[in-house]
Amino acid sequence: MSAGHILAAQWWLPQDAALHGPAFDHQLLLNLWIAAALLVLAHILLFSGLLLRGKSLHKIPIAWKTLPLLALTSLFVWLTVQSLGLWENARYAGADASAMQVEVTGVQFAWYFRYPGVDATFGETRAALVDAGAGNPLGIDPADPHGTDDIVSSELVLPAGREVDLRLRSLDVIHGFFVPEMRLKQNAVPGSTLHVHFTPTTPGTYAILCSQLCGMGHYRMQATLRVLPQDQFDAWMREQVRSHESH
């Protein structure tokens, strides 16, 4: 880990607990250093203009007038391409075929997490069947055999070191799935299923927040992400299966 990353981790950035985190933090710090350098340069040009006031601007070579614009435009394009490359890898490139599948559903004002069970297939859901009071907060169709073994949890539990592909959904309004330590933020949009993938690396407990103002109860729309070693995750999953079967 570089000195910059150590400084960031101890100062103003939350813990980095995802595989893509170092690249994300490096890009963020690079952007900030470049912005600081441009701030200094802008003030140098400003004070130079004050010192040269009264002189005819037409005597300044045209290259010196256009060079800052070209430099800023080139820098903007380069930073945009670099940043989009990081985002594309997490959002659009697609997860590996072996990635663990978990569905994340936002609803005012809670997060639900669904695992596909032993058949590795999510059951169908229907809006008319949504009834949290009856134990079916996602509207899983009991007529679909693929849904009979689905595990629904109020916390997201993942194994460390394994890629996970999250399927993000919303039952009502736009919610923002946000885990700072995983450098992960993606909206859950009603009527759409959006995918984002990442690999948690550090076991621990992390807060899941909603980054979109989704109503009067937005402040309490939180959940927990627990990252466990593989053997502990397997034990947790077996316990969930036994509890599901007992009902």
**How would residue 61 be classed by pLDDT, with cut points 50, 70 and 90?**
low
Q: What is the pLDDT of residue 117?
A: 87
What sign does the CA torsion over 104, 178, 94, 155 have? negative
Task: Cite the beta strand spans of the chain per DSSP E.
Answer: 100-107, 110-115, 151-153, 156-159, 164-170, 175-179, 184-188, 194-198, 204-210, 223-228
- Dihedral angle, C-alpha 38, 1, 99, 142, nearest 10 °: -80
Rounded CA-CA distance 160/201 in Å is 5
Q: Please check the confidence at residue 4 and state whether its pLDDT lies above 50.
A: no
Rounded CA-CA distance 128/130 in Å is 6
* DSSP string covering 69-85: HHHHHHHHHHHHHHHHH
Q: What is the pLDDT of residue 8?
A: 44
Mean pLDDT, rounded, for 35-60: 70
Q: How far is CA 195 from the centre of its chain?
A: 10
Mean pLDDT, rounded, for 177-200: 94
Average pLDDT over all residues of the chain: 85
Q: Write the pLDDT tens digit of every residue in 103-154.
A: 999 999 999 999 998 899 999 999 999 999 999 999 999 999 999 999 999 9
Q: Determine the 3-state secondary structure of 94 from DSSP.
A: coil
Strand order in the sheet with 151-153: 151-153, 110-115, 100-107, 164-170, 194-198
Cβ atoms of residues 145 and 124 within 8 Å: no
Rounded CA-CA distance 91/187 in Å is 11
Rounded CA-CA distance 230/228 in Å is 6
Q: Write the pLDDT tens digit of every residue in 73-91.
A: 777 777 777 666 666 665 5
Cβ atoms of residues 16 and 183 within 8 Å: yes
High-pLDDT (> 90) share of the chain, %:
56
Strand order in the sheet with 175-179: 156-159, 223-228, 204-210, 175-179, 184-188
Q: How far is CA 156 from the centre of its chain?
A: 14
Q: Please check the confidence at residue 209 and state whether its pLDDT lies above 50.
A: yes
**How would residue 1 be classed by pLDDT, with cut points 50, 70 and 90?**
very low
Q: Please check the confidence at residue 156 and state whether its pLDDT lies above 80.
A: yes
Q: Write the pLDDT tens digit of every residue in 25-38.
A: 887 888 788 888 87
